[in-house]
Amino acid sequence: TPSVEEGATHGHMSTRNLPTVLVAVDTPSVEEARALVERLRGAGVGYKIGLEFFSANGIAGVQRVLDGAPDTPFFLDLKFHDIPNTVAGAIRAVSAARPAIVNVHAAGGEAMMRAAVSAAREGALAVGAEPPLVIAVTILTSMDDADLVAVGQQPPVVEQVVRLAKLAQACGLDGVVCSAKELPAIRAACGNAFVTIVPGIRSTGGEIGDQKRVVTPAQAIADGATFLVIGRPITQAPDAKQAAIDIVASITR
């Protein structure tokens, strides 16, 4: 199983033992999510649990999905964006689920991001867990230059991504969610120890779906991605476990 070589910054959970591939749990159904985790047992992957599932099922639902595999690492992808005290409270609350990775919107600003880092440590301490990696969302991967203009931000996307990544790093966060196409610029600005989580990963020839900036798993790893979030190429494959194993193999050659 490929996993990240370097430890993360700021004393948070080491990336060393976390799997490179995080499978997107894109369902509101606890039963479907449990079945997916069961099908993929032994494939050497972690999971990304997002807003749809969490809104439907909460922490209890997350725990039910993983109770058959309690040591399975997961990224709780809720993208908190609110005033600092509210974000801190939310991160402390989700610490009960023991996520390996949590995230916030970098656009929430410095005070909010610093509050998130402190809360992640406090929440983990309260439940006897290692603090999760705290990751910033820069620009949603569904957005392109025209979308930035429409919301009053300055394109090109890559410059805004780098601006927000540098701010997140200065605030003590462990890394960012980004497109693979922004990886070289982020690596140049933030160094090799900064964690990068890349969604929008599709197998060669796969559907682009609703994310506009996409690459293959091998390309993303070659560009310096730390973690890959992969959904449909695994979850909608005729044999999900084999698809996961094949993707893991494709990035370790």
C-alpha span between 122 and 112 (Å, rounded): 15
Cα 174 to chain centroid distance, Å, stands at 11
Give the per-residue pLDDT at 7: 39
Give the per-residue pLDDT at 141: 81
C-alpha span between 61 and 59 (Å, rounded): 5
Residue 79 annotated to the active site = yes
Give the per-residue pLDDT at 70: 79
Give the per-residue pLDDT at 181: 83
Give the per-residue pLDDT at 6: 39
Q: Is residue 168 within 8 Å of residue 136, measured between CB atoms?
A: yes
Give the per-residue pLDDT at 16: 61
Task: Count Cβ atoms within 10 A of the Cβ of residue 118 and give its class: 0-12 exposed, 13-18 middle, 19 or more buried.
Answer: middle
Q: Is residue 62 within 8 Å of residue 33, measured between CB atoms?
A: no
H-helix or E-strand spanning residue 157: helix 157-170
Give the per-residue pLDDT at 77: 98
Give the per-residue pLDDT at 108: 97
Give the per-residue pLDDT at 1: 44
- Selected catalytic residue, list 79, 166, 212, 241: 79
What are the residue ranges in the chain where pLDDT is below 70? 1-16, 203-214, 253
C-alpha span between 133 and 60 (Å, rounded): 21
Give the per-residue pLDDT at 69: 82
Q: Is residue 12 within 8 Å of residue 132, measured between CB atoms?
A: yes
